[in-house]
Structure 1
Amino acid sequence: MFKIVTTQTMLEEAHNIRKKVFVEEQSVPLENEIDQYETMATHIIGYDKNDMPFATGRLRPIDNGVKIERVAILATHRNKGCGKLLMEFLEKVAKDQGYQRLMLNAQYHAQGFYESLGYQSFGETFMEENIKHIAMIKIM
């Protein structure tokens, strides 16, 4: 279901999911969504039983840990447990790469979801791309 992106085609599929979710649904400017960290990040993509791409996320080394970013699931696949499976895969990849400290900036409405996976919020809420966020951390 989930794989590490290893080809340009897979990366384009991941970018297309992000464009649908963040650019089209949430009005994030494309030039802000596809950023300078694309080449340094480990990208993940999820394929459904029909081999259609439906989910993505990326891991980027930061400070003394890794930051989980660009977690996106197409609307057709939401609320079916796919988010939890995607996060578990991202965490496994991070652990396999030697990271124990995971960080992310959660959209505020998703804070409870990340808390259910063991993440703890810290700091104040902040605005990013006109969307309320909260920083979160998990130590594995």
Structure 2
Amino acid sequence: MDIKIVENEQMLQDAYSVRYTVFVDEQNVPEELEIDELESEAIHFVGYIGDKPVAASRMRFVEGYGKMERICILHEYRGRNFGKELLIYMEKVAKEKGMDKSKLNGQTQAESFYKKLGYETVSGEFMDAGIPHVTMTKAL
């Protein structure tokens, strides 16, 4: 997978397309919650296989953390370590931007995935867009 930082409107639409498919179509997140008022302050990422967008995420800088958000892989491309590749790339960019720790609100069904990558659960379970989540952090 070729991971890129979004640099133009087409790349941003590619990222939104993946996010919409995963979160709105697959997980029934309300459309108005998926694309929000924080998009303009985020660094967006998109992963391609050839010229097909298959992964997306965004990162913001919040309270001294690189906050990893909206991490998703199209269903038919899961199980190939693309999520791991994407998160490692995001962490590298966070470090380059001066961050020494990262944070994410992960769906509880993905908690073990994040733990394998060094994240530690620092909250109890909470609901976000009707899906159980936990907050997790990692020293970079």
**CA distance in structure 1 between the partners assigned to 2:123 and 2:79 by the alignment:** 28
Structure 1: runs of 5 or more not aligned: none
Partner in structure 1 of residue 22 of structure 2: 21
Name the count of aligned residue pairs: 139
Deviation sequence 1:74-115 (CA, Å, 0-9, x none):
011101111111111111111111111100000001000000
Q: Are residue 3 (structure 1) and residue 22 (structure 2) matched? A: no
Matches within 5 A, 1:127-138: 127-138=127-138
**CA distance in structure 2 between the partners assigned to 1:95 and 1:3 by the alignment:** 16
* Normalised TM-score (structure 1): 0.97
Alpha-carbon offset, residue 41 of structure 1: 0.2
Alpha-carbon offset, residue 66 of structure 1: 1.7
Amino acid aligned to 1:26: Q
Partner in structure 2 of residue 60 of structure 1: 60
Alpha-carbon offset, residue 65 of structure 1: 1.4
Matches within 5 A, 1:60-139: 60-139=60-139
% identity of equivalent residues: 42
CA RMSD after TM alignment? 0.7
Amino acid aligned to 1:22: F
Amino acid aligned to 1:33: E
**CA distance in structure 1 between the partners assigned to 2:23 and 2:80 by the alignment:** 20
**CA distance in structure 2 between the partners assigned to 1:122 and 1:61 by the alignment:** 18
**CA distance in structure 1 between the partners assigned to 2:65 and 2:78 by the alignment:** 28
**CA distance in structure 1 between the partners assigned to 2:93 and 2:54 by the alignment:** 19
Alpha-carbon offset, residue 22 of structure 1: 0.2
**CA distance in structure 2 between the partners assigned to 1:81 and 1:123 by the alignment:** 26
**CA distance in structure 1 between the partners assigned to 2:123 and 2:75 by the alignment:** 30
Tell me which stretches of 4 or more aligned residues in structure 1 moved more than 3 Å: none
Partner in structure 1 of residue 44 of structure 2: 43
